[in-house]
Amino acid sequence: MFKKSALIAVVIAFGAVASGCTDHQQLKNDLLQAVAKQPDMKSYRFEGSVDLKLQPDLKDAAPLTATFVAMLKNSRINWKGVSSSEPRMEADISVQPQGSTAAFDIPAILKDGKWYFSMPPITKKDEFLVIDMAKLKGGDGKNLQQAGVLSASIVKQLLNGIDAKYVEQAKDPVVLKDNTSAKLYTVEMTDKNEKTLSAALKGTVPGIMDLLRTNGWPDAKLNADTLELHAPSRLSFAVDNQGYIREQKISLSFSVKTGEGTADNHIDFEQFVSEVNQPPSFQKQVPAQAKPFEDILKLLSPGKK
Instruction: List pLDDT tens digits, range 272-296.
Output: 999 999 999 999 999 988 988 876 6
Among 84-98, 118-132, 187-201, the minimum mean pLDDT is found in 118-132
CB 226 within 8 A of CB 257: yes
Structure confidence at residue 135 (pLDDT) = 73
Structure confidence at residue 11 (pLDDT) = 42
Dist. CA 150–CA 157, nearest whole Å: 10
Mean pLDDT across 96-124: 87
- Pick the more confident residue, 59 or 225: 225
For strand 88-97 and strand 261-274, is the pairing parallel, antiparallel, or unpaired? unpaired
- CA 44-146-168 angle, 5° bins: 65
Structure confidence at residue 187 (pLDDT) = 97
- 195 has a pLDDT exceeding 60: yes
Which positions ≥6 away from 152 have C-beta within 8 Å?
35, 36, 38, 39
Residue 289 neighbours by CB distance under 10 Å? 7
Structure confidence at residue 4 (pLDDT) = 47
Dist. CA 244–CA 194, nearest whole Å: 29
Mean pLDDT across 46-56: 94
Which positions ≥6 away from 54 have C-beta within 8 Å?
73, 74, 265, 266, 267
Single out the residue of 291, 244, 271 nearest to residue 81, CA to CA.
271
- 40 has a pLDDT exceeding 50: yes
Structure confidence at residue 101 (pLDDT) = 82
Dist. CA 167–CA 35, nearest whole Å: 14
Phi and psi based region of residue 183 (left: phi greater than 0; alpha: psi -120 to 50; beta: remaining): beta
- 304 has a pLDDT exceeding 90: no
Residue type, 216: G
Longest dimension (CA), the chain: 85
Mean pLDDT across 240-255: 96
Instruction: List pLDDT tens digits, range 135-180.
Output: 765 444 454 446 678 888 999 999 999 999 999 999 999 999 999 9
Single out the residue of 201, 260, 269, 273 nearest to residue 230, CA to CA.
201
Q: Is the peptide bond before 232 cis (omega within 30 degrees of 0)?
A: yes
Which long-range contacts does 66-72 make (Cβ < 8 Å, 24+ apart)? Answer: 68/121, 71/95, 71/97, 71/121, 72/97
Query: What class is the 26-299 domain?
Result: mainly beta
- 271 has a pLDDT exceeding 90: yes
Confidence bin at 110 (pLDDT 50/70/90): very high
- Domains of the chain: which residue ranges? 26-299
Structure confidence at residue 16 (pLDDT) = 42
Structure confidence at residue 36 (pLDDT) = 94
- Pick the more confident residue, 51 or 12: 51
pLDDT above 90: percentage of residues in the chain: 59
Confidence bin at 30 (pLDDT 50/70/90): very high
Which positions ≥6 away from 11 have C-beta within 8 Å?
none
